[in-house]
Structure 1
Amino acid sequence: MGRFEPYGTGFKADFDVRVGPARTAWDCAAFARQLRSDVERVMGIRFDPADDGRDPSGGFRFWFENEDLSFHLIVDDPEEGRPLDKVPAYAIPVSRSEQVATWELAEKLYDGLDALGTYLLVALEKAGEAVAANVDLGDDW
């Protein structure tokens, strides 16, 4: 049984993996490029290569979709003073397959990014409960 499985009530339960830089200063565009590349490698997907993801708000949005998976990656500047300001990017995998549950995709993403050692990570289940984190969330979480 995987660590995320108990939070995967129902086959399509939602997970939100929040991501931030572990060792570099914040640069939204550079972080978006690097995270996009690492997510593609870890998940074995390819976001639209012609789309740089720029959003009119100044952030970045990437979308992948096929018959087995949809994946949304959002990178925005952190909101100072928020509990999750160290992890401002959202990575949201959703399974469309009957063979792979969404919790399996979320765990694969979390473990793959964590293994790189360059990201702060917090995985949240659909109600906002922390499933896993490699950063101290503090007592107010």
Structure 2
Amino acid sequence: MAARRSPDPGSPDPDTTTGRVEGIQRLLLADQGVRLKPASSPDADRHNPMTPALRQAIQQGDRMLAEFKRNTNIGVGLGIIGEIVGRSLSTSGSPGLGAIVILAGFAVFIWGCSQYARAKGHSAWFGAFGVLSIIGLLVLVFLPDRHKEARA
């Protein structure tokens, strides 16, 4: 019987490397919403230190982030469109209706900014920067993303 060669100290153990790569691939696929079937071997997750509860919390957090980002796009987009339509209504002869549409667009824009702040891991109160319109949105763009730091 041939003796098993021990790996070189400088080279990575192929079993450990393969497990890490598979774990990373699983996480990347989970980020994209792909559901994987559990592996049939009893030690399939021996290289993946994530517990099912941790995996579920990460997936739920990703869904919440996706929801905040979707709400940001809806709120900011509709807010800008509302302000433009309200402005054109006020100048075309309907100042009362135009003012109402501008205020509604403004409120939706601020709500969208608060969703953007929440998506970046900050308090929804940072959405008050939306009062400054596009300048406030730029302030929010330059806020640090706390969710990226948590994943790194």
TM over 0.5: no
Rg larger in structure = 2
Q: Which structure has more strand as a fraction of its residues?
A: 1
Q: Which structure has more helix as a fraction of its residues?
A: 2
TM score, norm. by length of structure 1: 0.26
Higher relative contact order (CA closer than 8 Å, sequence separation 6+) = 1
TM score, norm. by length of structure 2: 0.25
